[in-house]
Amino acid sequence: MEDLIKRAAKDLAVAVNVAALTGAGISVESGIPPFRGKGGLWERLDPMEFAHINAFMRDPVKVWKALVREMKEIVDRAEPNDGHKGLAKLETRDKLKTIITQNIDGLHQAAGNTDVIEYHGTFAWQRCMDCGKKYETRKVDVSEIPPRCGCGGILRPDIVFFGEMIPAEAMWRSRQAASDCDLMLVVGTSAVVQPAAMIPIIAKENGAKIVEINPERTPLTVEVSDYLIMGGAGEVLNRIVAAMEKI
Ligand code: OAD
């Protein structure tokens, strides 16, 4: 792995516009379970039954009880780990310009990154399904499910459920960031959910180097990524940042 760490450090040193695409894997070390693979959320819950907008509309109490309340408990207490902090350091060194994240946990912003595109929305806010008023998730009382707005409407997380559109601004801004970057770090995503999985392909088509960080291979590994550094995001990013300091 050491050779690949040095290679990534050199590639980052010469890059002028770096973007990152992140997925659930980068938050695993913060105690947030991923969706797929061992211990993944979708091993226990069928996403079509609990994470599809139709499922939420049909039975919000069921989805709140099985998924959203637990998500709130986990996300409320999660802190950025070395993976998030490593990406924040790359922004401080003026390398990393934009993070496109599929995560809804807000940990990139908590680590200090300032340009974060939340492709699947954010869990930081709940919004009323009737009047649209927003409430900070941390402050929402979940002693009664479903929590309700002052107007009586049911609150839903401000995330993208399956069956919903990606927010238009997130969509076009990430396309732009992918086209503009000369290196894209793809960290902790299984790259199987569209349209997010297209983002590294857009970057590649526009001439960017693609560097994947993941303990497992993904559908991008052979055809799209220039190389995969097989390991956890925290350790790998720590080592890359340390190696950059020696260049
Ligand atoms: P997944 O759960 O599909 O994939 C997590 C990836 O992280 C896998 O490839 C793991 O190998 C990798 N991984 C595990 N531990 C890691 C670590 N310590 N460091 C780095 N990588 C690690 O998560 P996503 O790709 O983010 O969408 O999933 C994409 C979307 O599917 C999510 O945004 C969510 C989900 O259904 C919606 O809810 C709309």
Q: How far is the CA of 30 from the centre of ligand 1 (A)?
A: 13
Coil, strand or helix at 119: coil
Q: How far is the CA of 190 from the centre of ligand 1 (A)?
A: 5
> How far apart (Å, rounded) are the C-alpha atoms in residues 179 and 203?
5
Per-residue pLDDT of the chain (247 residues; tens, 9 = 90+): 999 999 999 999 999 999 999 999 999 999 999 999 888 999 999 999 999 999 999 999 999 999 999 999 999 999 999 999 999 999 999 999 999 999 999 999 999 999 999 999 999 999 999 999 999 999 999 999 999 999 999 999 999 999 999 999 999 999 999 999 999 999 999 999 999 999 999 999 999 999 999 999 999 999 999 999 999 999 999 999 999 999 8
Query: pLDDT value at position 38?
Result: 86
Residue of 52, 84, 108, 120 marked catalytic: 120
> How far apart (Å, rounded) are the C-alpha atoms in residues 67 and 3?
41
> How far apart (Å, rounded) are the C-alpha atoms in residues 108 and 111?
5
Coil, strand or helix at 100: strand
Q: Which of 17, 88, 23 is nearest to 238 (CA)?
A: 88
Q: How far is the CA of 50 from the centre of ligand 1 (A)?
A: 17
Coil, strand or helix at 156: strand
Coil, strand or helix at 155: strand
Contacts of 211 (CB under 8 A, 6+ apart): 8, 11, 183, 184, 185, 186, 225, 226, 227, 229
Distance of CA 125 to the CA centre of its chain: 16
Beta-sheet strand order (sheet of 116-118): 116-118, 96-101, 18-22, 183-187, 209-213, 227-229
- Which of ligand 1's atoms lies nearest the C-alpha of 213? 20
pTM above 0.75, yes or no: yes
Query: pLDDT value at position 247?
Result: 87
Find where tokens 């990430």 sit. 174
Find where tokens 């947030």 sit. 32
Residue 237 C-beta-side C-alpha neighbours within 13 Å: 27
Choose which residue among 36, 230, 240 to substitute to test ligand 1 binding: the one with the highest number of ligand atoms within 8 A of its C-beta: 36
